[in-house]
Amino acid sequence: MKKLFELEKIKTLSYPAFRTLMIIHFLLFFLVILVASRVHFTIPGFSVKGLYQFPNIWGFFPWVASWFNLFLAIVVILLVGNEFSFRTFRQNVIDGLSRNDLIGGKLILVLAIAIYTFIMVLLAVLIFGLIYTRDLSFEIIFKNSYLILIYFIQAIGYMSMGILVAIIFRNNALSIIMFILYFALIEPIVRLFFKAEVRRFFPMKIISNLTPMPEFLTMASEKKYTSATGESYLDFTEMGLLPENLSLGTTVFLAVGYIGFFVALSTVLMNRRNL
């Protein structure tokens, strides 16, 4: 494991585009949340500050970060594609690594990037949450904090699919195009041919639903509106503006299953095809 980590670190950090892309990713995320924090609603009773307060911020920041998971997948596609273009996979096998080791190394890379994004979002949540939240308590700070772990799984899901696409097409440009087409056009169009109950179970639908759009009406409201059951009247789903999704537990379970499928299929293809 340590040998694979050191090998991936050398190959990844020696690639100048990787460092540039990760810096861009970091800057884009913080630019969005900084700009959004300066937006002011003109509607009485609503304030953007509510999105930056605990516990709302645990849902808002991972959702914003999820916009850039496609970017992370493209980074992984470039790194895997370079292995084929520069024949480094073949050289690694000649040097004694197994094909399973090659996949293992890329999974370590995916895990490392996911940990980086996890830490990035966590620090942003703590910094902005502590600044914007007035009445701080241990309970309110950590309420809904599990949502950042869900984002962590989502980031791994996007990148593991990126590995699969890169292994299938073995060309950076083609792999990126096909990944974006599948994400934005192919799967959404295919889903139209199925009933609504079935559409929810497609891979990218499941993975993207790990960080659903927050309940902005509730989070931005300066007043609390609750029903007799304690549920907010300002819920997009209850108002019929958004479709009802699967439960979070079911979505996480299926997402982990899809990640396992992507990894398994990547391993099979790596073992059966020429390097």
- Residues 152-179 pLDDT 10s: 999 999 999 999 999 999 999 999 999 9
List C-alpha distances in Å: 155 to 43, 84, 136: 35, 24, 30
Give the whole-angstrom CA distance, residue 129 versus residue 80. 37
- Residues 37-59 pLDDT 10s: 888 765 666 677 888 999 999 99
Highest mean pLDDT among 13-22, 129-138, 239-248, 250-259: 250-259
- Residues 145-157 pLDDT 10s: 999 999 999 999 9
| pLDDT (mean) for 203-227 | 75
The average confidence (pLDDT) of the chain is 89
Q: What DSSP string describes the chain? A: -HHHHHHHHHHHHT-HHHHHHHHHHHHHHHHHHHHHHT----STTB-GGGGGSTTTHHHHHHHHHHTTHHHHHHHHHHHHHHHHHTTHHHHHHHTT--HHHHHHHHHHHHHHHHHHHHHHHHHHHHHHHHHH-SS--HHHHHTTTTHHHHHHHHHHHHHHHHHHHHHHH--HHHHHHHHHHIIIIIHHHHHTTS-HHHHTTSHHHHHHTTSPPP-HHHHHBSS--B-TTS-BS--TTTTTSS-----HHHHHHHHHHHHHHHHHHHHHHHHHS--
Assessment of whether the complete model's pTM goes beyond 0.85: yes
The per-residue pLDDT for 224 is: 53
Residue 23 has pLDDT above 70, yes or no: yes
The per-residue pLDDT for 35 is: 93
Lowest-pLDDT range of 26-35, 42-51, 77-86, 125-134: 42-51
| pLDDT (mean) for 250-269 | 97
- Residues 79-109 pLDDT 10s: 999 999 999 999 999 999 999 999 999 999 9
Selected residue with higher pLDDT from 70 and 43: 70
Domain count, the chain: 1
Q: Which domain covers residue 88, as residue numbers? A: 2-272
